Amino acid sequence: MVNPPRSAYVHIPFCHKRCFYCDFSIIPLGDSAEAPGSPGITSINAYLDLLNKEISIAPKGPALSTIYLGGGTPSLLKKNEVGDLLNNLKRKFGFQDGAEITMEVDPATFFENDLRGYIEIGINRFSLGGQSFDDDTLISIGRKHNKSQLIEACNWVNNLFKKGMLRSWSLDLIQNLPGFNLSKWLRDLEEAVQAEAPHLSIYDLTIEPDTVFGRRYKKGELNIPIESEAQKIDFETNRFLKSKGFSRYEISSYSLPCHASRHNRVYWSGSGWWGFGMGATSAPWGERFSRPRTIAGYKKWLDQQQSQLLEKTLFNEKSKPMPLDELLMIGLRRREGVHLEELAKNVGWTQKECDKNLELLEKFWLNSLNEGTLLRNNGRYFLSNPKGMQISNQVLIQMFLWWDSLDLD
């Protein structure tokens, strides 16, 4: 049984350009994105009208405890545009006292006064898309900013945090990029620690087929670390950050005490959340739904919602619960892992089904348990750190093979 959703993700798809690794649902606007009267401004205004319409026709729910504005590049929006979105969400759902309200911001798209403006209208946590502190790397992955702009952005955000104007802030980095080596990566981590970010999101590069990197990889033109090198980099990442006081609370997330992202934990715990905007995924009552990834498709879908209310996953009485294999997949990303029997019973399994099927899963996981990549304690299973988290896909593959072997009809 899923508790009523108390979180919302809002997608802002606009960027100056598409980075070479990016497969997200975005709309590149070029360098004229912020020029008055430009096609970029017209596109933003038209999209915000659609987004606010979706919020207005959504089913009501309890007050929100976390809100996340992601993209894309939300910092291409003006203070009043972000404020209007938050006000519409507040009118629809209400905000709990102390709600965590995060906004993604990209270097070279804002000044310190812009950050102050966002804080004035309710933002209390920023997620800064840095990706690397190395100028050559930033050029090679298609980022707009350079190292000096990233350091300047970090200083602006951190100064506001130190003044008590922010609850927290986070910095994004990508490991295992083309031309990557351990010494270069450790310099990136040193810079991140010097920037005093209390939360780090560290993502492994994923090669998506319909990207610049995907096409280069297919041609054999992309020099990325092999698996053994990537595992060593992950090991050293964990070792280094642990020595600086960071805790790895999820495969891609490190934080100082009291700075874990509440919104991130919603996703990995299997709790429900609302989603709004082009390409956004929602699962308010368990079943996932992804909106169309183009502006034309999103507008058409939204017109249908307004006239016919077709999307059943937005309504508790019509939505299916999140399936057990998906709950296991996301739950194993967390440091605390999953309690198998509790999850199985929550999705409706009987004790007899639990005894039979979960014993079989243990057999599929036997090698991982013997190797110490998967640990077990009082019915709870969790990946060891760093070894298990480095090769989490192997544990998940065995879980999916188990799932496919079951006769659940």
170-183 pLDDT, tens per residue?
999 999 999 888 99
More confident residue, 192 or 228: 192
Strand partners, 9: 68, 275
What pLDDT shows up at residue 13? 97
Task: Report in angstroms the alpha-carbon separations of 61 from 2, 4, 316.
Answer: 13, 7, 10
What pLDDT shows up at residue 340? 95
Q: For the chain, give every domain's residue range.
A: 7-269, 324-405
CA atoms in the 13 A half-sphere facing the CB of 90: 13
Mean pLDDT across 253-259: 97
pLDDT band at 32 (very low <50, low <70, confident <90, very high): low
Residue 234 in this model has a pLDDT that exceeds 80: yes
What pLDDT shows up at residue 307? 84
Residue 228 in this model has a pLDDT that exceeds 70: yes
Residue 6 in this model has a pLDDT that exceeds 90: yes
DSSP states along 23-55: -SS-EE--TTTTSTT-HHHHHHHHHHHHHHHHH
What pLDDT shows up at residue 310? 78
Mean pLDDT across 12-20: 95
**Selection from 53, 36, 40 nearest residue 13 by Cα:** 40
DSSP states along 217-247: HHTT------HHHHHHHHHHHHHHHHHTT-E
What pLDDT shows up at residue 48? 97
Mean pLDDT across 220-241: 92
What pLDDT shows up at residue 309? 76
| Kind and range of the H or E run holding 263 | helix 262-269
The answer to whether the peptide bond before residue 117 is cis (omega within 30 degrees of 0) is no
Q: What distance in Å separates the CA atoms of residue 90 and residue 409, rounded to the nearest whole number?
A: 42
Task: Report in angstroms the alpha-carbon separations of 162 from 99, 166, 260.
Answer: 19, 8, 17
Residue 37 in this model has a pLDDT that exceeds 70: no
Name residues whose C-beta falls within 8 Å of residue 42's C-beta, 6 or more positions apart in sequence.
none
Q: Which range is least confidently modeled, 33-42, 245-254, 310-319? A: 33-42
What pLDDT shows up at residue 318? 77
128-166 pLDDT, tens per residue?
999 999 999 999 999 999 999 999 999 999 999 999 999
Residue 34 in this model has a pLDDT that exceeds 70: no
pLDDT band at 63 (very low <50, low <70, confident <90, very high): very high
Residue 39 in this model has a pLDDT that exceeds 80: no
Q: Where are the beta strands (DSSP E) in 79-182?
A: 95-105, 125-131, 168-175
Mean pLDDT across 199-222: 95
Residue 35 in this model has a pLDDT that exceeds 80: no
What is the CATH number assigned to the segment(s) 7-269? Answer: 3.30.750.200
Residue 409 in this model has a pLDDT that exceeds 70: no
Mean pLDDT across 188-204: 98
What pLDDT shows up at residue 316? 84
Q: What distance in Å separates the CA atoms of residue 91 and residue 118, rounded to the nearest whole number?
A: 19
Collapsing DSSP to helix, strand or coil, 275 comes out as: strand
353-377 pLDDT, tens per residue?
999 999 999 999 999 999 999 999 9
**pTM of the shown model:** 0.95
Residue 200 in this model has a pLDDT that exceeds 90: yes
Mean of per-residue pLDDT scores for the chain: 94
By CB neighbour count within 10 A (0-12 exposed, 13-18 middle, 19+ buried), where does 90 fall?
Answer: middle
Mean pLDDT across 12-23: 95
Residue 277 in this model has a pLDDT that exceeds 70: yes
> Within a 10 A sphere around the Cβ of 229, how many other Cβ atoms?
14
Q: What distance in Å separates the CA atoms of residue 281 and residue 274, rounded to the nearest whole number?
A: 8
Name residues whose C-beta falls within 8 Å of residue 324's C-beta, 6 or more positions apart in sequence.
343, 344, 347, 349, 403
Residue 225 in this model has a pLDDT that exceeds 70: yes
Name residues whose C-beta falls within 8 Å of residue 372's C-beta, 6 or more positions apart in sequence.
384, 387, 388
Mean pLDDT across 243-263: 97
What pLDDT shows up at residue 179? 86
What pLDDT shows up at residue 14? 96
Mean pLDDT across 3-8: 93
Mean pLDDT across 1-28: 93
